[in-house]
Amino acid sequence: MSKIPKQVAEFLSKKRIAVAGVSRNFQQPANAIYRKSKGAGYQVYAVNPNAERVEGDACYPDLHSVPEPVEAVMVVTHPDVAAKVVRECANLGIRHVWLHRSFGQGSVSEEAVAECVRHNIDCLVGGCPMMYCEPVDFGHRCMRWILKMQSRLPG
């Protein structure tokens, strides 16, 4: 695998990560990210205001409810919700946010990016951590290659 961008490596160096947007539907991208992060040894917290449990684990309604300090947040919500999640990060002193996006809009919104800038939060815009967490599956290797060709890789 080629060198991981510094900003991506910094995000992935954090040990306690929340995934905002996990679903009761295990087939959703947020759930895949949650499972991959957990399997890679991260302490991962599921965040969704409409679920008490996902993937067999406790799920928290918001970042303020997570029982331990979180170092980074993976935002895999509807883009209309992303700015609210970023503001929660700012309130909690969380300085690393990744706004998920593959080929569509994903979780990226102008407002969420602006909130990151306003609160001096290190923000990865687009892509997915599954493109970097070893072992990288074939689909995410392809996605990384395509996004690289389009100059749309984060970091």
The rounded distance, in Å, linking the Cα atoms of 16 and 69 is 7
Q: How confident is the model at residue 1 (pLDDT cuts 50, 70, 90)?
A: very low
Question: What is the model's pTM?
Answer: 0.91
Angstrom CA distances, 54 to 2, 58, 74, stand at 33, 7, 16
Tally the residues of the chain: 155
Average pLDDT over residues 47-61: 95
The single-letter DSSP state of residue 127 is: B
* Dihedrals phi, psi of 88, to nearest 5 degrees: -60, -45
Inter-residue contact 75 to 112 (CB < 8 Å): yes
Q: What is the pLDDT of residue 104?
A: 66
Nearest to 103 by CA among 137, 153, 138: 153
What pLDDT, in 10s, does the model give residues 74-91? Answer: 999 999 999 999 999 999
What pLDDT, in 10s, does the model give residues 63-75? Answer: 999 999 999 999 9
Domain 6-149 sits in CATH at: 3.40.50.720
Task: Report the Cα 150 to chain-centroid distance in Å.
Answer: 21
What pLDDT, in 10s, does the model give residues 89-143? Answer: 999 999 999 999 866 668 899 999 999 999 999 999 988 888 888 888 888 888 8
Q: What is the pLDDT of residue 130?
A: 84
- Of 51-60, 87-96, 145-154, give the lowest mean pLDDT range: 145-154
Nearest to 121 by CA among 143, 90, 142, 146: 90
Domain boundaries in the chain? 6-149
Inter-residue contact 121 to 89 (CB < 8 Å): yes
* Dihedrals phi, psi of 48, to nearest 5 degrees: -165, 120
Three-class SS state of 99 = strand
